[in-house]
């Protein structure tokens, strides 16, 4: 059975990367060699269902956290620097709140601690934008052509748009739809102030989905939190500014390794 992650490097420090709802583990592939510094093993995990199986049984934050724990066990990872982008950031925050002993340090990129407001308006708008095209018969490739450019700075890099659109087109529609629905019910705002590990919040300077002020607020509320922003980047900041993103993570992982030694 094919393992649900890709990896690079080796060593006592593990960095686990979690992707967003519109990408997969492969999105991180260009960053892995740079992140895999000496003594560091970097793993990028495909969410359950994104490889084509178990999307119903394991979709939802409790199921994702259980699956992530099993993934760490299968990979021989006791504790890790956990890095989440967008939906991956929500999963990372949820996992860190449930299993803090498994997280050495936490990096949250272009994400929020809770989705929408109590009136449900933003949730309804988000579901309609993301799911109505699928219900009307659109393919994942057609959905990707609409969504990927909208999450990037203008003008977007055509090669990056093409790569991420091609990757999004491989996501099973049922897994994508189930993940979209799970996002709208996410709320871990109260968990942020209790996080015991170092927390790095990374914002895209032009991100409209997870504005920089939301990331800055999370960083202020986390006892060991700090904020960093990437300019000339929007919601797909890790892939729009990969060198700057890697530099931030490299510094953060190195500090976590020192403090956790």
SS (H, E, C) the chain: CCCCEEEEECCCEEEEEECCCCCCHHHHHHHHHHHCCCCEEEEEECCCCCCCCCCCCCCCHHHHHHHHHHHHHHHCCCCEEEEEECHHHHHHHHHHHHCHHHEEEEEEECCCCECCCCCCHHHHHHHHHHHHHHHCCCCHHHHHHHHHHHCCCCCCCHHHHHHHHHHHCCCCHHHHHHHHHHHCCCECHHHHHHCCCCEEEEEECCCCCCCHHHHHHHHHHCCCEEEEEECCCCCCHHHHCHHHHHHHHHHHHHHHHHHHC
Tell me: cis bond preceding 155? Omega within 30 of 0 counts: yes
Q: Which residue's entry shows tokens 């739809």?
A: 177
> In the chain, which residues have pLDDT < 70?
1, 53-58, 117-118, 260-261
Query: Cβ of 76: how many Cβ atoms within 10 Å?
Result: 8
Q: How far apart are CA 165 and CA 162, in angstroms?
A: 5
What domains, with CATH codes, occur in the chain? Answer: 5-260 (3.40.50.1820)
| pLDDT of the residue at 118 | 63
Task: Give the residues across from 228 on adjacent strands.
Answer: 202
Q: Tell me the pTM.
A: 0.96
| pLDDT of the residue at 102 | 98
For residue range 178-216, what is the model confidence (pLDDT) as tens digits? Answer: 999 999 999 999 999 999 999 999 999 999 999 999 999
- Decide if 28 contacts 19 (C-beta within 8 A): yes
């Amino acid at each position: 059975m094919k393992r649900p992650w890709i990896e690079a490097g080796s060593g006592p420090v593990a960095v686990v990367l979690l992707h967003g709802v519109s990408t997969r583990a492969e999105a991180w592939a260009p960053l892995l060699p740079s992140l895999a510094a000496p003594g560091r093993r970097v793993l990028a995990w495909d969410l359950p269902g994104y490889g084509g199986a178990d999307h119903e049984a394991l979709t939802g934050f409790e199921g994702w956290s259980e699956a992530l724990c099993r993934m760490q066990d299968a990979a021989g990872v006791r504790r890790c620097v956990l890095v989440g982008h967008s939906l991956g950031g929500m999963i990372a925050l949820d996992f860190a709140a449930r299993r803090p002993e498994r997280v050495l340090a936490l990096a949250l990129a272009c994400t929020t601690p809770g989705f929408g407001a109590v009136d449900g308006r933003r949730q309804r708008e988000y579901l309609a934008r993301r799911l109505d095209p699928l219900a009307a018969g659109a393919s994942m490739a057609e959905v990707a052509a609409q969504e990927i450019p909208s999450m990037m700075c203008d003008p977007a890099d055509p090669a990056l748009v093409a790569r991420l659109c091609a990757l999004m087109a491989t996501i099973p529609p049922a897994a994508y739809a189930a993940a979209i629905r799970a996002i709208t019910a996410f709320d871990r705002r109260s968990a942020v102030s209790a996080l015991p590990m170092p927390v790095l919040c990374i914002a895209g300077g032009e991100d409209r989905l997870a504005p920089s002020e939301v990331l800055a607020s999370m960083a202020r509320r986390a006892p060991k939190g700090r904020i960093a922003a990437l300019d000339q980047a929007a919601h797909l900041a890790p892939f729009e500014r990969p060198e700057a993103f890697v530099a931030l993570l490299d510094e953060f992982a190195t500090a976590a390794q020192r403090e956790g030694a």
